[in-house]
Chains A and B, each alone.
Chain A
Amino acid sequence: MDPLLTALLILSALLILTTLLPWILAFTRKPGPAREELVSVLRCSKCGYEEIRKYNKGDYVGRPVGSCPRDGSRMVIKAIYVETLPQG
């Protein structure tokens, strides 16, 4: 085959490959969705004892929830947030 034609064909193939390479890489490297969990942080209004538990429907920051296991005082929800857990 003519060397000029061979060079042209190789050049074309290289051009197509370099155009498509970033797309292929981005597609194959896409990370899977992270595991997320919504949690409520409970805090004793007297001794400051804290506890993290799963979010329950109806929870809101400032909601009184039960009593402290340490001193029996009122526990209040001090925060609600989404925790991202490692895959697995």
Chain B
Amino acid sequence: MEGVDNIVSYLIVLLFLASFIMNFTDIPQRIQLQRYSSFVRRRLYQLEELEVDARRKAVSYMSSLGVSEPAKVLEGFVNNFFLIRPVELEPIDIIRRYKHLIRTRESSVRDYIRTVLGKVERSIQYSVETVLEVVSVIRLINKLVRHYLELGLKYNNWILVMQLAIQMPEIVELTKAYANSLNAFTSGIPIGDSVGPLVAKMLSKWGEPLREVVEGTDLYEVEIEGRRVYIIKASGPGSNVGWPGEALEKVIEEVGGSVDRIITVDAALKLESEESGEVAYGTGAAIGDIGPEKIAIERVASKYSIPLDAVVVKMSEMEALSPLSKKLYEAAVKAYEEVLRVIRDKVREGNRVVVVGVGNTVGVR
């Protein structure tokens, strides 16, 4: 019995010591810092693998297009072409400044790609641009994760490392989505975000566009049950989002504002509690834009007092960047039926309506 008593005494002393260490020293935090940093490092290896894979895909895609020294082209892109946000403290003309900077950046990117590719189809040029942008985003994610990990370790900031570790699964998922999207962009397969242009194409009865209304944005004109329907979408089938706001502005001005309704159709990020493929109807401009395109839609709608409707298809970020699933295709059909219902119920026969299919038109002509 004496031996057992001894063990119990040791255990009590051990518990007391452990309690002291846990409550009055930083040792548990240091141990946690090591645990969390090793967790982040393991995920960082995964991110690096995804980056290497993305770079390999981009290089092989450019090689297949006959680009000489594709690795050098990629390197020349990934760390350059950043955009410095305009001063937001002074809001006057901020949209004009944003628009100017976005267009300037896009024009530099397009010049760079044109120089590298030479004379190729515009849809290929757009796809190369997207592929380079995707690799650039993956590189940026990697750099940011490494930055916060090293910062946390340098200053023993265990809260920073812990926060990073907690966010890592989400960051890895997002990076995987970007990496997977490369397959779609290089092969020209529609992605989840293509539902807007897909609905626009369905409305146009898979016909050819009437004309290019602004660079990279097409206009279709059809008649649906006695209503004149103007359809705007990015020019496909390359990876392109076009300038839907500017195009809408131009079309509405051309008809002197005589439009009964504007309907925007886009993919929307779902909440975790929502089902993928849910179709919802609401008011406003359904467009995930930094500002200039969205405000162009809102301004022209309010200038002529045209009701602005939105039809959205809910999906996760992963689904928005992955090849279109059957479930989301069926949702696009539902969204198309919803747009038809709005046209039938809210636009009088003989009047005009504009439908804008917002999103990346990869794989959709």
Seen from chain A, the residues whose Cβ lies within 8 Å of a Cβ on chain B are 1-2, 4-5, 8, 38, 43, 45, 55, 57-63, 76-84
Contacts and interface: CB of A to CB of B under 8 A. Distances in A.
Given A8-B11, A62-B201, A57 B187 contact: yes
Interface of B: 1, 4-5, 7-8, 11, 187-190, 198, 201-202, 205-206, 236-237, 322-326, 328-329, 363-365
Nearest to B361: A61
A58 B201 CA distance: 18
Contacts of A83: 326
Contacts of B188: 58-60
B8 A2 contact: yes
Tell me whether chain B's interface is mostly helix, strand or loop, or mixed.
mixed
Contact of B1 (A2, A59, A77): A2
A80 to B, nearest CB: 5
Contacts of B322: 82
Given A1-B4, A62-B206, A84 B236 contact: no
Contact of A61 (B1, B11, B325, B364): B364
B206 to A, nearest CB: 5
Contacts of B206: 43, 45, 61-62, 76-78
Contacts of A8: 11
B364 A82 contact: no
Contacts of A82: 322-326
B189 A55 contact: yes
Contacts of A2: 1, 4-5, 7-8
Contacts of A76: 206
Contacts of B323: 38, 81-82
